[in-house]
Amino acid sequence: MFKGDFVKNLPKIYGTYTGGFLIFIILMAIAESAGMTAKTIGILFVAFTVCIYAFIGYLSRTVQVDAYYVAGRQVPTVFNGMATAADWMSGASFVAMAGGIYFGGYTYMAFLVGWTGGYVLVSSLLAPYLRKFGCYTVPDFIGTRYGGNLARFCAVVVLTLASFTYVTAQINATGTIAARALGIPFELGVWVGLISILLCSMLGGMRAVTWTQVAQYIVLIIAYLIPIFWISNKGGFGLFPHLMLGEEVARLGELEAQFGLVKNSAADIKAAGVPGGLKSIAVAHSAVPEGGMAAWKFISLALCMMVGTASLPHILMRYFTTPSVKAARKSVAWSLFFIAILYTSAPMLATLSKLSLIDPNLPTGIIGKDISAIMAIDWVQAWTAQKQAFIADFNGDGVLQLNEWFMRGDVVVLSTPEVAGLPYVISGLVAAGGMAAAMSTADGLILAIANALSHDIYYKIIDPKADVRKRLLVARVLLVVIGAFGAYIASMRITSILGAVAWAFDFAMSGLFFPLILGVWWKRATRQGAIAGMIAGLASGTAYLIYVYPKFMGNPAWLGIDHLRFGIIGASVCLVVMVVVSLMTPEPDKATQKMVDEVRVPAGRTILGKQH
């Protein structure tokens, strides 16, 4: 069926795959109308897609170092863009983002700006140069540019800390979704999720992860867009929601004014017995909070997320897989294009689901209606039974007020199809999409950590004479060990999905951002400067996090820099220390300066071409 060059056949292969997936959705819809239960549909959706990813992972198995670490450097720009988009959009983007906008409105949307703007930094400051360098991992660049094992080791430490913070949240998300779709306990779901993740990456490393991520992107974007367009058209909100929800956003403003945005006191919430993690709507949807502090909070959050994006190794390493420097640049643009499709849709989904729920003129609206009638609705019963939603009749009038309806943020995406009265097949699709998003990110992260440990620590520092077979064996063993450790941490449920995700960005920017960009853009940057910068940045950032996070020391935030923004402290310290120490130490030798000159020019061989 697919003769000839694999890369040339990619559009055909993924075209067929997309068609096959759409047919599967239609078959499920037919099965539902023929009486298949919701539970079976959920299981089939998750099982079918996971099996396909595992199959792709198996087909992409490899025994070559180049294929294992950088997918043979032959991934075309558009496909690398899709893979990066899947790598990037985590369970948090898919499941929690619309929920965040639902509760946080404009204030929360700083995340949207932050999680997209970072790619401008990636394309103009880093990706093309790292590609020219020809490294396998991000610490590989630090280790070679600055020289010496200590610099390499420090980079591995930052990478591991940032990626590991992130990966537990992803395994947590796969566990939640697997548990719900398959009807098993969460603790077991985590391990099912981990096995699915490892099936994709173990045999083929980066090559397998690349091709499964493309497949996962297709599933997740279909799963995200279908419900939005469906609800928008079914409810008569507009044919093309992205362009046509202006009136709905205005209507939300009216309803907020009508119901009043009441912030419940902690004592009331406790007295009513609202389960932890559930929230009511207390922030305006589109109105901008007044004052300089609010604007600074918006901007500082966006800044942390952007700089963090440009420092996260699992994203940067995706651009090592393109055929050329030129392709690396274009590929960043395609990545953001594919990411933007989902990110520009999230506010629309939040608007639609909020309106469906709170507008009393709509048949789906529940606010302002009798609580006894609401408690009789199927989906309300299902979600309250799972402690994902809650009704607290504070004023005791038997009518639901806006501040009396509580929901968990993650539930917004998962429940919207049911709330809007779509067939269950859509809920199954959304579960498969959430699973794809969490799995693809987890895969990229686990691979980033395992590759850094196997390539930079084991091969470059411990045993430089190891043969290919041994190197790849070590890489795979580490993959399993790190995955298992992540799943173990996730099964203990330590933080909520989003707090931990933002921390990963702050850790990465504290330790890696300036050593990376100054390595390319400032010839004078020295080894001692980079090492001191990484250590001081990471240490000060972490110290500030401990100082300010309510569950640790809980001190008042300085200038509004709270625990989501501690990277501002870390990265600033890193910059100052790195520049000062670099200027105090002798400038890098001629060979290093020549290497930096070479990195700045796209033509010619990669710097590390022969050394691998």
Partner 1 sequence: MSNKEKHWEKTKGLMFLTLIIWFVFGYLIFMFGSSLNTSSFLGYPLAYYMCAQGSIIAFVVLIFWFANKQEKIDEEFGFTERGEDE
When asked if residue 250 is in the footprint of partner 1 (CB under 8 A), the reply is yes
When asked if residue 293 is in the footprint of partner 1 (CB under 8 A), the reply is no
- Choose, by CB under 8 A, the member of 91, 128, 205, 541 that binds partner 1: 128
Q: Which stretch binds partner 1 (CB under 8 A): 30-38, 62-70, 188-196, 241-249?
A: 241-249
- Choose, by CB under 8 A, the member of 59, 299, 477, 583 that binds partner 1: 299
When asked if residue 310 is in the footprint of partner 1 (CB under 8 A), the reply is no
- Please identify, using beta-carbon distances, which residue of 275 and 602 lies nearer to partner 1: 602
- Choose, by CB under 8 A, the member of 333, 492, 553, 584 that binds partner 1: 333
Cα 188–191–194 angle (5° rounding)?
A: 155
- Please identify, using beta-carbon distances, which residue of 116 and 510 lies nearer to partner 1: 116
When asked if residue 247 is in the footprint of partner 1 (CB under 8 A), the reply is yes
Helix residue spans in 273-324 (DSSP H): 292-309, 313-316
Q: What burial letters (b/e) apply to 130-145, b meaning 16+ CB within 10 Å? A: bbbbbbbbbbbbbbbb
Applying CB under 8 A, the site for partner 1 has a residue count of: 60
Binding mask 184-223 for partner 1 (x = CB under 8 A): ----------------------------------------
Q: Which residues does residue 370 pair with via DSSP β-bridges, in sequence order? A: 399
**Residues whose CB falls within 8 Å of the CB of residue 485, separated by 6 or more in sequence, listed in order:** none
- Please identify, using beta-carbon distances, which residue of 323 and 560 lies nearer to partner 1: 323
Q: How far is CA 201 from CA 90, 121, 195, 401, 443, in A?
A: 17, 28, 10, 48, 7
Q: Are 54 and 196 contacting, i.e. CB atoms less than 8 angstroms apart?
A: yes
CA–CA separation, 453 vs 446, rounded Å? Answer: 11
Q: Which stretch binds partner 1 (CB under 8 A): 242-250, 372-380, 395-403, 458-466?
A: 242-250
Q: Which two tokens stand for residue 90?
A: 């985590």
When asked if residue 70 is in the footprint of partner 1 (CB under 8 A), the reply is no
- Please identify, using beta-carbon distances, which residue of 255 and 534 lies nearer to partner 1: 255
Q: Are 87 and 441 contacting, i.e. CB atoms less than 8 angstroms apart?
A: yes
Q: In what order do the strands lie in the sheet with 405-408?
A: 278-279, 405-408, 389-391
Q: Which two tokens stand for residue 61?
A: 């198995």
- Choose, by CB under 8 A, the member of 13, 47, 340, 481 that binds partner 1: 340
| Least CB distance to partner 1 at residue 359 (A) | 17
When asked if residue 504 is in the footprint of partner 1 (CB under 8 A), the reply is no
Its sign, for the CA torsion 233, 237, 239, 242, is negative
Q: Are 509 and 567 contacting, i.e. CB atoms less than 8 angstroms apart?
A: yes
3-state SS class at 547: helix
CA–CA separation, 532 vs 128, rounded Å? Answer: 26
Q: Which two tokens stand for residue 290?
A: 């007044």
| Least CB distance to partner 1 at residue 85 (A) | 12
Q: Which stretch binds partner 1 (CB under 8 A): 104-112, 214-222, 482-490, 571-579?
A: 104-112
Q: Are 245 and 351 contacting, i.e. CB atoms less than 8 angstroms apart?
A: yes
Q: Which stretch binds partner 1 (CB under 8 A): 13-21, 90-98, 245-253, 557-565?
A: 245-253
Q: How far is CA 184 from CA 191, 196, 364, 433, in A?
A: 11, 15, 30, 19
- Choose, by CB under 8 A, the member of 10, 36, 47, 120 that binds partner 1: 120
When asked if residue 290 is in the footprint of partner 1 (CB under 8 A), the reply is yes
When asked if residue 257 is in the footprint of partner 1 (CB under 8 A), the reply is no
Binding mask 21-60 for partner 1 (x = CB under 8 A): ----------------------------------------
3-state helix, strand and coil shares in percent for the chain, rounded to the nearest 5: 75, 0, 25
**Residues whose CB falls within 8 Å of the CB of residue 174, separated by 6 or more in sequence, listed in order:** 91, 189, 190, 192, 193, 194, 196, 197, 435, 438, 439, 442
- Please identify, using beta-carbon distances, which residue of 340 and 374 lies nearer to partner 1: 340
- Choose, by CB under 8 A, the member of 97, 274, 332, 349 that binds partner 1: 332
CA–CA separation, 325 vs 69, rounded Å? Answer: 17
| Least CB distance to partner 1 at residue 331 (A) | 9
When asked if residue 373 is in the footprint of partner 1 (CB under 8 A), the reply is no
- Please identify, using beta-carbon distances, which residue of 495 and 572 lies nearer to partner 1: 572
When asked if residue 117 is in the footprint of partner 1 (CB under 8 A), the reply is yes
Which residues of this chain interact with partner 1, rule CB under 8 A?
76-77, 106, 109-110, 112-113, 116-117, 119-121, 123-125, 128, 242-247, 249-250, 285-290, 294-295, 298-299, 302-303, 306, 322-327, 329-330, 332-333, 336-337, 340, 343-344, 347-348, 597, 600-604
